[in-house]
Structure 1
Amino acid sequence: MARATDSRIRFHDLLDTSRAAASSLLEDARAGLGEPPRTLSPKHFYDQRGSELFDRICQQPEYYPTRTEEAILEAALPDITERVGRETTLIELGSGASRKIRLLLDALRPSRYAGIDISRDFLIDSTERLAVDYPWLDVHAICADFTTPLTLPAELADSERPVAFFPGSSIGNFSPDEASVMLDHLRELLPVGGGLLIGVDMIKSPAILEAAYNDAAGITAEFNRNLIRRLRDELGAEVDPADFDHRAFYNRDACRIEMHLVSRRDQRFMLGETPIELRRGESIHTEDSWKYSDAGFEEMAGQAGFAPVERWHDPEGLFGVYYFTRAA
């Protein structure tokens, strides 16, 4: 369903976030917290407050991915423009008004932009800002969960060579098996010859990785505890975010950062009709961020039906940006 919000954008609501998202949070929390090992899905980080906190994380000095990816994109813009071409439809997975998307809009001058995000308020805010700053651009806001199979609205589906932009190494938040499924969904979203421009965090020194997820200002810790705040504020759970410590570390064997919330005391609270009991020191696993090598990621993308075209890195090899096209 499409409806007008700001006259400068077209809003497509493919997700009933007023009921379905709250239900999903309750169902996921019950399933994940009911018994050890305790988990909460990272997809629930990104309510309005969580999205704003993540924007602040990206500004922290320890958090290299954002500034490194921006520098890679800026340096590679001539190559990207040559590969992608102009007057395309640019689809951003996880909408934002960041410098990264603006670099692409300025260089590619696409005919249409579609931002896809699960957070309705954040999505509308970010796309309206883009529409104001780029008055020549046909802007669409799609409220949807892009981790599930997704079909573009009819007025966007006729693009001959759309390009999906998936920045920030968000693909690393999925396990390798889940990432493979996600890439399968992206292949189905795009026609043959459609492009995928994607950021990937590389395997590197654990010290660099652990500092990035334990910033001195404590913004990542607050972002992590926002999950508990959502349980309290949206589901009525009598639980206090201050009763949890943030813990993030590099798991060398799995090549991933793990984020956890560690209970500071024995506690019991209700999720609807479901009692949740946590012991002092017990951990809730909230996020993983897998890191890749060039060969490993390109093999995964190839198995999902994407053909590698080009890749770019920063001088230190901290981060990679890849361009693929959907194969036949």
Structure 2
Amino acid sequence: MDVKVTELAETPTGFIDDVLEGLSKPQKTLPCKYFYDEVGSNLFESICDVDEYYITRTELQLLDDIKCELAQLIGPDSVIIEPGAGAGIKIQKLLAELTALKAYVPIDISSDFLFYSAEKIRENFSDIEIRPIQGDFTEPYQWTGKKSLTNRVVFFPGSTIGNFTPAQAEQFLKNQKRFAGKEGAMIIGVDLVKPLQKLESAYNDSQGVTAEFNKNLLVRINNELGGNFELDQFEHTAVFNPAESRIEMRLVSQQNQSVKINRQEFHFDEYEYIHTENSYKYTIEAFTALAERAGLKSHKVWTDDENLISLHYLKCR
């Protein structure tokens, strides 16, 4: 079965507009969704393999432990939708357990990475219809498949939900609920609150992969928007903000300097930083309450033996 990529409508000037707006704020920011060009997507897959980053290996093991139970909850004749699909490693554990699957719909902002991953999954699951969608999954989108396919399940592992503020996360869940439909469900991975050292080391790995991933955003700006960031004059760091219950990824200026992008100049004081990403950490009770506000009912929650991460099965209602 051929794999054909569908593109969501995007604003061509979105990248430059978002960068200029973010760097013009009193607290300079850059949207984390622009991490994920082909280079950034590959770097993120490398992050998942570093010793300090517990989320991926812990979630993979948890999925192994509960995949049969998940398949029973989902049932036959389902459509699995995966926003931010990446390499599609986790979903394959679930696809292998499902019966009479109607389609798998991966969504990713990086078209090259999306197409490559979809082809690899097709090689392993040749009997499954694969409908990749290239685009920004944080924006609302509509189901364009057959209306009769009512058993739609959104699969969103990896604690990516933590990249949104709680208000953004609630809106994201509402958008996904509409996409799944009234009879649909969601499977969400959520990182849990844990000791400070465990949290901060996961985002400051000793191999420097996360630092390279963070700085790749500046590389994109230089290459695609005509920026002149000097990479060695910005240092990656990630700190836990207990008041907000979140890890904050930052790029810290190492000197007083100015950067030009698209003929616009931005000044940085020494130690001033660009806030590039949040990763909120939840208790099970806090995330369940958030899902309830989005109109989703918690059906079951699983955690690993160390209570590092959680997987939530939510029903649309």
The answer to whether structure 1 residue 86 and structure 2 residue 80 are counterparts is no
Alignment of 1:273-312 (within 5 A): 273-312=263-302
**1:28 paired residue among 4, 8, 18:** 18
Question: Does residue 86 of structure 2 align to residue 96 of structure 1?
Answer: yes
Q: What secondary structure is seen at the aligned counterpart in 2 of 1:103?
A: helix
2:193 aligned to which of 180, 187, 203? 203
Q: 1:63 Cα shift?
A: 0.3
For 1:193 and 1:72, how far apart are their aligned partners in 2?
26
Distance in structure 1 (CA, Å) of the matches to 2:8 and 2:88: 23
Contact preservation (8 Å) 2:88, 2:121: no
Corresponding residue of 1:170? 160
Match of 2:119 in 1: 128
Matches of 2:112 and 2:148, distance apart in 1? 27
| Per-residue deviation, residues 37-85 of structure 1 (Å, max 9, x unmatched) | 1111111111111100000000011100001111111111121111111
SS in 2 for 1:82: helix
Aligned to 1:14: 8
Structure 1 stretches lacking a partner, 5+ long: 1-6
2:150 to 160, 178, 191: 160
The aligned amino acid for 1:211 is: S
CA contact (8 A) 2:87 2:113 kept: no
Letter of the aligned partner of 2:109 in structure 1?
Answer: I
Retained in 1: the 8 A contact 2:105–2:130?
A: yes
* Structure 2: segments with no counterpart, 5+ residues: none
The aligned residue for residue 187 of structure 1 is 177
Residues 228 and 241 in structure 1, CA contact (< 8 A), matched pair in contact too = yes
Q: Please give the alpha-carbon distance, in whole angstroms, between the structure 1 residues aligned to 2:59 and 2:20.
A: 36
Q: Which residue of 2 aligns with 1:213?
A: 203
Q: CA offset at residue 279 of structure 1? A: 1.6
Aligned with residue 142 of structure 1, among 109, 133, 145: 133
SS of aligned partner of 1:108: coil
What does residue 233 of structure 2 align with?
A: 243
**Post-superposition shift, 1:98?**
3.6
The corresponding residue for 1:3 is none
Offset at 1:152? 2.1
| Distance (Å, rounded) in 2 between the aligned partners of 1:49 and 1:86 | 37
CA RMSD, Structure 1 to Structure 2 (Å)? 1.3
Rounded to whole Å, the distance in 1 between the matches of 2:89 and 2:215 is 27
Q: Could you state the TM-score of these two structures normalised by the residue count of structure 1?
A: 0.93
Q: How many angstroms does 1:105 deviate by?
A: 0.7
Measure the CA separation in 1 of the matches of 2:292 and 2:58: 25
1:71 pairs, out of 44, 54, 61, with: 61
Out of 288, 304, 308, the residue aligned to residue 314 of structure 1 is: 304
